[in-house]
Amino acid sequence: MHKSIGILLLLLSNYNYFSQITYPTDTLAMGEDSIIIFANKSWEFLEQSNKKMLFNASVYQYAEKQYKWKDKWDTISPYFYGNDLEAFTDTIALPLIDDLHSKFIIPHPGIITSTYKQRGKRFHYGTDVDVVTGDSLKSCFDGVVRYSGYSSGGYGNLVVIRHYNGLETYYAHLDKILVTTNEEVNAGDFIGLGGSTGRSTGSHLHFEMRFFGNALNPQKIIDFKNKKLIDNCIDLHRGLFHYKKKYHYKPSSQQLASKGYHRIKSGDSLYALALKNKTTVKAICSLNGISSTKILKIGEKIRVY
């Protein structure tokens, strides 16, 4: 047992994802801003400040800082609420694998029986894969088990794995769970047996992929038929979160114009817009809180009167 248990307990009271993820330690030195964390089976040194365990730390930090998204390490509840997609206005490139965590393995080779879509009153947040009860299911990337247990929310026996890019995968309706919370897994490790626990009719794997709690369409990321990733990187933007229908509504130019808005096209200038709408550059700038030297971006919506 490590001598620094006092420090550790203090840190654990305030622990988060970064202090939970374990990682090879030989390259990490203890410095003033380093901390000691408890890895699932051993004590390890980890430098908290640079978040080296995440291979997309900059993306992660950006989401936290820019959007105030939270992604705590919660081993009691599989759900996250309150991360505001409304605020998510960028497209960010999220790598799925890197040199250290380079493997992807299909969780199960069965056929898809239901997709990510509105299904009656509920949105179906994942992809259903046909399994026979007792089939072995695999973690699709390297990661750490955040949740393992029965979930009364309909998932039945559920395993949630946090991966090193921040994505989480959910494996639901399991007949049996083979991993424990905080356990490190590699891509391809068996994490449970397929089943039909929870809200399920007939044995199948309900598989979800979430980023900061927001469910993505697994079929946009995984080519299930060919058992490989569609790409090594995904462009993440709120339009991918299809259950938020409002992000798919894009008003036409006419609709915008009737409300005093204009969508910037190639060649537009503030001066031309002012002329066309019988107003002044100054008035447009003040309506939009912009300066007259602002570079207009194509596709951007601007208020003209």
Residue 168: which of 101, 214, 110, 122 has the closest Cα? 214
Q: How far is the CB of 41 from Zn ion (least distance, A)?
A: 33
Do 217 and 223 form a contact (C-beta atoms < 8 A)?
A: no
* Structure tokens, 178: 């083979």
Size of the site for Zn ion (CB under 5 A): 2
- Candidates 101, 206, 238, 262; binder of Zn ion (CB under 5 A) is 206
Nearer to Zn ion, 206 or 262 (CB): 206
Residue 238 found at the interface with Zn ion (CB under 5 A): no
Residue span binding Zn ion (CB under 5 A) among the ranges 57-65, 122-130, 188-196, 213-221: 122-130
Q: How far is the CB of 223 from Zn ion (least distance, A)?
A: 19
Do 158 and 151 form a contact (C-beta atoms < 8 A)?
A: yes
Residue span binding Zn ion (CB under 5 A) among the ranges 32-40, 64-72, 140-148, 204-212: 204-212
Backbone angles phi, psi at 162, to 5 degrees: -90, 125
Q: How far is the CB of 140 from Zn ion (least distance, A)?
A: 16
Give the three-class secondary structure for 35: strand
Nearer to Zn ion, 117 or 265 (CB): 117
Residue 284: which of 265, 264, 298, 266 has the closest Cα? 264
Residue span binding Zn ion (CB under 5 A) among the ranges 145-153, 198-206, 233-241, 270-278: 198-206
**DSSP per residue over 281-297, as a string?**
HHHHHHHHT--TTPPPP
Q: How far is the CB of 156 from Zn ion (least distance, A)?
A: 11
Give the torsion through C-alpha atoms of 293, 297, 301, 304, to 10 deg: 30
Beta bridge partners of 159: 148, 171
Nearer to Zn ion, 168 or 184 (CB): 168
Nearer to Zn ion, 156 or 213 (CB): 156
Q: How far is the CB of 107 from Zn ion (least distance, A)?
A: 13
Select the residue whose beta carbon is closest to Zn ion and give its number. Answer: 206
Residue 128 found at the interface with Zn ion (CB under 5 A): yes
Nearer to Zn ion, 154 or 188 (CB): 154
Nearer to Zn ion, 79 or 271 (CB): 79
Pairing of strands 112-114, 143-151: unpaired
Backbone angles phi, psi at 222, to 5 degrees: -115, 135
Q: How far is the CB of 289 from Zn ion (least distance, A)?
A: 45
In the region spanning residues 141 to 180, those forming contacts with Zn ion, defined by CB under 5 A, are none
Nearer to Zn ion, 128 or 184 (CB): 128
Beta bridge partners of 117: 124
Rounded Cα gap, residues 263 and 256, in angstroms: 8
Cα 218 to Cα 65, 164, 224, distances in angstroms: 26, 17, 9
Q: How far is the CB of 114 from Zn ion (least distance, A)?
A: 6
Residue span binding Zn ion (CB under 5 A) among the ranges 2-10, 76-84, 123-131, 175-183: 123-131
Give the three-class secondary structure for 251: coil
Nearer to Zn ion, 199 or 263 (CB): 199
Q: Which residues bind Zn ion (CB under 5 A)?
A: 128, 206
